Amino acid sequence: MDHLDQVGNLTAQPTEFDESLIDQQLARNTEFLGKEGSKKIRDAFVIVVGAGGVGSWAALMLLRSGIGKIRIIDFDQVTLSSLNRHAVATLGDVGTPKVTAIKKHFKDIAPFVEVDSVVDLFTAENADELLSNPDYVIDAIDNIDTKLDLIKYCYDKKLEVISSMGAGAKADPSRIQIADISETMEDPLARAVRRKLKKMGVEKGVPVAYSTEKPHHVKLLPLEEERVANADDFAALPEFRSRILPVLGTIPSMFGMAIATYILLRLAKFPSFDPLAIKLREGLYARLHRDLRAREMKHYNNKVCPLDVRDVGYIFERMWHGGSIISGPQDRLALTRWDRTKPLSSLNAVCLSRTEADAHDKLPPHTDLKAYYGEGKNHGCLFIHHYSTLTSYSSLQ
């Protein structure tokens, strides 16, 4: 193949790049991330597990950004139906292993990047062999059990990992985001992974790419297993799904590019990079606000609530972390006055379960709350910390 030299003339494609050509190819990224950040990326090793729509795009953009070494692990082959979302596969690659096709095309894009293609299925048994000292691991696996094994392994081994949730049946590009697994919503796969990880002792600390869009009602494709006696014969491997959700090809590519961007910024230690989880809790805040107004009216005959819906959202999320200070996260929560002798304010509003709030509102106004609730009885350090903070702020008013 040919390439353009610095003045735009076609010259023969070199078999190996020297540093000046590499610097030229990566110039735009280096301008953005700085020389030190770009060097960290050049020195990094990333492993991508799963080479489909998400994994192939994540790998491609890491490659184009000059990642030093990339290992891509997948057991599957390129199919005609996968061409709508794969980053580099062509018609000529159909029937060949996805990782083999990727390595072939990657060589034409950035031959200076070390690409290790592994035709294998990741399992808990071969994890030590496949995941050897990476700077980051990308989970782009479809099968939930294998996905859980990979996340749990990385969590236990303290390996940096980011996981892709479900791109199937999604279409809105504005809803794609990155957040901790504990803060995901509207994603059935994320919900299932979150619940199963919790049982495995992993409640948070795993960033994921997912969409907050409600899944569209679409039918599974291409095989109706209940109508086919030998449905397992059509699956790539035993216990791997042979029916899949229809996928709009652009969405998994955006998942992959979001993941690659996240890793690049983390590796380069880019300043002021802190993905903000979209809670989609406007309805919850409105309900909490209505309930708070009703409590103020019932117990204090206060017809005007000094807090609006945005105040309630801030108090609920930032001050009380979305849970009761006594019993932690609950399905039915409420805000109410903490010190009943003082007016309602952002510093005198506490989050409790509805049952706890009802009992709290019935306490005599001058109850010694610290003595009543105690400092450690079933409440933990979070309660003590918030109680101390709240009373300290209140004393300054």
Q: What tens digit of pLDDT does each residue of 38-95 get?
A: 999 999 999 999 999 999 999 999 999 999 999 999 999 999 999 999 999 999 999 9
| pLDDT value, residue 318 | 81
Q: Token pair of 48, please?
A: 């991508």
Report how far residue 357's alpha carbon sits from residue 139's, in angstroms, rounded to the nearest whole number: 42
pLDDT at 193 over 50: yes
| pLDDT value, residue 375 | 61
List the domains of the chain with CATH numbers: 2-267 (3.40.50.720), 282-396 (no CATH)
Mean pLDDT, rounded, of the chain: 85
Pairing outcome for strands 69-74 and 114-119:
parallel
Q: What tens digit of pLDDT does each residue of 341-385 get?
A: 999 999 999 999 999 999 999 999 999 888 888 764 444 344 444
Q: How confident is the model at residue 326 (pLDDT cuts 50, 70, 90)?
A: confident
| pLDDT value, residue 280 | 63
Q: What tens digit of pLDDT does each residue of 98-126 get?
A: 999 999 999 999 999 999 999 999 999 99
| pLDDT value, residue 330 | 77
Angle at 119 between CA 113 and CA 123, to 5 degrees: 110
Residue 201 corresponds to which amino acid? Answer: G
Q: What tens digit of pLDDT does each residue of 130-173 get?
A: 999 999 999 999 899 999 999 999 999 999 999 999 888 889 99
Cβ atoms of residues 356 and 324 within 8 Å = yes
Report how far residue 292's alpha carbon sits from residue 334's, in angstroms, rounded to the nearest whole number: 7
Q: How confident is the model at residue 25 (pLDDT cuts 50, 70, 90)?
A: very high
Helix crossing, 354-361 with 282-300: angle to 10°? 20
> What is the pTM (predicted TM-score) of this model?
0.68
